[in-house]
Structure 1
Amino acid sequence: MQAKLKAAFKEELDKGKGLLASGKNEQAFYHLERAHILGQRNYVPHVISHYWMLRAGLKTGDIQEVLGQIIRIIGSAGSLIGKVPLGNSGRAKVSPVKPMPIPEDLKQYFE
């Protein structure tokens, strides 16, 4: 993972974790989703983003999110062979194989 991408992933992940700790769960998910988009092509960051979404699902009591994240943690192995749907937010409410538009401000990390 290139340094610029790694720093952006860490920044989004840290924002998400901080917001989750302060009870701002929907805002936390927003940043965790952005971390997922940035990290999904690299196995370890991909798993880490799903792990934190799992924790957010547990904190909010969202069983669909919890089960979806468990499945996605296992499915993160797709990043080892380059099989990830770019732009996918990583949330359980979205198909795990659906490509999605990459937010404009994140496109610079994929050029």
Structure 2
Amino acid sequence: MMTTALQQAFAAELDAAQDNWRQGRLDAAFTHLENAHVLGQRRLGWHFHVHLWMLRVGWAKRDQREILGQLWRLFLTPLGHLTGRLPIGNTGGANVNAFTPMPVRKELEEVLRGEGMESKSDNGLGD
């Protein structure tokens, strides 16, 4: 069961990303998308949506590495969910390996802990 805190935290990060996007602050938008990725990666729809937005930011920045990385992650995301192998804490950008678990920032960890998710890493497919 999903907690209201997780829904609110995810929505706040996505809203902040979209606000920054509209204002042309693409790096700030991407930072909020990374937070949203950490919070939403266990929910297929949220996870996929964040990667679409990351692709959009990469496209706007004309960042070929990010574009290709996000296309790859959009392919991997359903596979990661099917297998249940998602590296916890991975921020989802092309600047990090899609299979590498990462430490979770304290404020995000508190929200995830309330959801019953450990911040310890799982190795696996998809980020």
- Partner residue, 1:19: 20
1:55 corresponds to 2:56: yes
Does 1 or 2 have the higher relative contact order (CA < 8 Å, sep 6+)?
Answer: 2
Deviation per residue, 1:54-111 (Å, 9 max, x gap):
0000101001101100110111111243211000010001000000000011111222
Please identify which structure carries the higher helix content: 1
Q: Which amino acid aligns with 1:104?
A: K
| Structure 1 match to 2:84 | 82
- Provide Cα deviations, 1:6-54, integer angstroms capped at 9, x if missing partner: 2111110110111011111111111000000000011000000100000
Residue 96 of structure 1 corresponds to 98
Question: CA separation in 1, counterparts of 2:43 and 2:111?
Answer: 13
Q: Distance in 2 between matches of 1:94 and 1:48?
A: 19
Alignment partner of 2:87: what SS?
coil
Structure 2 residue 68 is matched with structure 1 residue 67: yes
Conserved 8 A contact 1:85-1:100 = yes
Structure 1 distance, partners of 2:10, 2:76, is 20
Q: Is the deviation greater in 11-20 or in 72-81?
A: 72-81
Q: Which amino acid aligns with 1:84?
A: L
Equivalent AA in structure 2 for residue 47 of structure 1: F
Give percent identity, aligned residues only: 41
Change over 3 Å in CA distance of 1:80–1:3 after alignment to 2: farther
What is the number of equivalent residue pairs in this alignment? 111
Q: Which range moves more in the overlay, 43-52 or 1-10?
A: 1-10
Write the distance in 2 (CA, Å) between the matches of 1:108 and 1:79: 23
TM-score of the pair, normalised by structure 1: 0.94
Structure 1, unpaired ranges of 5+: none
Unaligned runs of 5+ in 2: 114-127
Larger Rg: 2
